[in-house]
Amino acid sequence: MTSNPLLDATGVAKNYGAVAALRNASLSVLPGEVHALMGANGAGKSTLVKILTGAIPANAGRILIRGEARDIRSPAAARRAGLLPVYQEPSLIPDLDVLSNLRLTSTPVEPFRAWVRELGIPDLDIRDTARDIPLAVLRVLDLARALAVEPDVLLLDEMTAALPANLAEKVLEVVRRQGDSGRAVIFISHRFVEISALCDRATVLRDGETVGVVDIVPGVEEKIVELMLGTRIVKTHVAARSAAQKAVPAPARPRLSVHNLRVGTKLNDVSFDLADGEVAGVVALEGQGQDELFAALAGSIRPSGGTIEVDGQPAKFSHPIDAIRAGLAYVPGDRAEALAMQRSVRENIALPFSAALRNWGPIAMRQERAKVVSAIERLQIDTRAQGEVQRLSGGNQQKVTIARWVAADTRTLLCFDPTRGIDVGTKQEIYKLLREVAGHGKSVLFYTSELEEVQRVCDRVIVIFGGRVVDIFPVEEADEPALMRAAYGLPRGAKADIGILADPHCSSPESASSSASTSPGATP
């Protein structure tokens, strides 16, 4: 690959007031290349994508497209220059139907439809309003819309983060073929598996600066992590929990006990127990009813059948306050859902203290402060920008959502994918915290979309498929292939090839592309 770069950006800088989101970023992408853009949270990846595609202006920097200097001032200009992004957040207009969305962007309909089918969604009605379409599908539509105009450079910002494995797999196949056909793809992901399966090279950002460009070869992960984290702790493996830690004496009755729980058509008949001092994992593909399960336990929606027992007492929740009173607190994966972004760290942590009507009066400021400070310390939240939570980094924001319930001394945490889009270092801290909470006799229900987390954190894992519990594993057996199979509803012990994610170790580009060729779907 010695051809001229398709896209060549150097010295890109972007300041938000006093904060430098990008200081000196560079990125060079060759034709036919799938190029990973990597970096810890807040390193500036999304910012760079936004600058390259005209969504925000840069403060400095030079961008060459096919060797020509281009000034891209708007997404429309980027599109004309052949740069098409799929941003971290869905970009379809919520109140327009899919067809109107296509018209708005002058996207040809037939190629779009072909790509949608290719990406594994056979039955899309393009008269459906975007608002009514599930998030994962929306992401795919976003991608299909970009693909339909045959961009020279496709920029995918954490495209696979919110996708279930089956859709993610299709996306990866399609992306790889883009590269094969001489176009370029800039691919952002925190998942090394995907990077190594897909990418040719990676540019690593740290604190807004490009700190290295590496070829993806087996074993390069260590090097990338080193670049990403700089002097920070390099890849701390959570030590396998000792037998002593695991030996939770089985209590007389479970902390939480769910029987035959049903929610609409999404969740049918789920039963399991959660004990004090236990972290129970929940694993499921996208849309298998896990959202509804957590929402029901959190009191956000009312189950249509079955029972929830807390400490042996039947419980009925009609509002999160009821669940909270029963000692169940919900930590959503999307921190924007949990935080009042313009308020301070302190107010966010103390929010549950004021919730009940009887606590609407004057606040005992000193007491509150003590509780908040101790929670901040336990979670090691970086409070340099504590005046407004929106100024915290993503990982620290995530910690605040948990700190709130640590400060409230909640007995049971319902964590829904709390490490979504968080860097390696912060993840480790969150794992540690959850174990610690369990160590204090509290219990945690932990849904994760990253299967490798299960063995790091959980004591047990509950697998849900099609709205039912299909298996409950002891953690020792819960390696990724086993979990993956179970998540697809396959019986334990069966061996079937379910795609490249099944075995990350043999996913070199060659073997991956061969598996792609066996998959159904025609190239548009």
Q: Which is nearer to Mg ion, 170 or 391 (CB)?
A: 391
Of 174, 118, 224, 169, give the one whose Cα is nearest residue 503: 169
The DSSP result for 313-326, as a single string, is: EEE--SSHHHHHHT
Q: Which does 179 bind (CB under 5 to 8 A by kind): another protein, ligand ATP, Mg ion, none?
A: none
Over the window 338 to 377, marking each residue x when it contacts ligand ATP by CB under 6 A and - when it does not, the resulting string is ----------------------------------------
Provide the edge-to-edge strand list for the sheet that holds 267-274: 267-274, 256-263, 305-310, 313-315
Return d(Cα 80, Cα 442) in angstroms, integer: 55
Which residues inside 24-53 make contact with ligand ATP, applying CB under 6 A? 39-47
Which helix (H) or strand (E) segment is 415 a member of? strand 412-416
Return d(Cα 414, Cα 45) in angstroms, integer: 30
Q: Which does 94 bind (CB under 5 to 8 A by kind): another protein, Mg ion, ligand ATP, none?
A: another protein
With binding defined as CB under 6 A, does residue 394 bind ligand ATP?
yes
Shortest gap between Cβ of 400 and ligand ATP (angstroms)?
Answer: 11
Q: Which is nearer to another protein, 252 or 357 (CB)?
A: 357
* Tokens linked to 487: 């998540």
CA 13 from centre of chain: 26
With binding defined as CB under 6 A, does residue 131 bind ligand ATP?
no
Q: Which is nearer to ligand ATP, 125 or 337 (CB)?
A: 337
Return d(Cα 222, Cα 205) in angstroms, integer: 15
Shortest gap between Cβ of 73 and ligand ATP (angstroms)?
Answer: 18
Cα–Cα–Cα angle for 294, 269, 253, nearest 5°?
70
Query: Which residues are near another protein by CB under 8 A?
Result: 15, 17-20, 23, 42, 55, 74-76, 79, 85, 87, 89-97, 100-101, 103-105, 127, 207-208, 264, 298, 300-302, 319-321, 324-325, 330, 332, 336-343, 347, 350-357, 359-363, 365, 393, 404
Return d(Cα 149, Cα 171) in angstroms, integer: 17
Q: Which is nearer to another protein, 158 or 471 (CB)?
A: 158
Q: Which is nearer to another protein, 90 or 425 (CB)?
A: 90
Shortest gap between Cβ of 17 and ligand ATP (angstroms)?
Answer: 6
Q: Which is nearer to another protein, 45 or 191 (CB)?
A: 45
With binding defined as CB under 5 A, does residue 397 bind Mg ion?
no
Within 10 angstroms of residue 235's Cβ, the number of other Cβ atoms is 12
* Tokens linked to 172: 């990866």
CA 327 from centre of chain: 26
Return d(Cα 175, Cα 164) in angstroms, integer: 16
Which helix (H) or strand (E) segment is 336 a member of? helix 335-338
For 353, which DSSP code?
H
Q: Which is nearer to Mg ion, 46 or 410 (CB)?
A: 46
Residues engaged in binding Mg ion (CB under 5 A)? 41-42, 46, 393-394
List interacting residues with ligand ATP (CB under 6 A). Answer: 16, 19, 21, 39-47, 382, 384-385, 391-396, 421, 423, 426
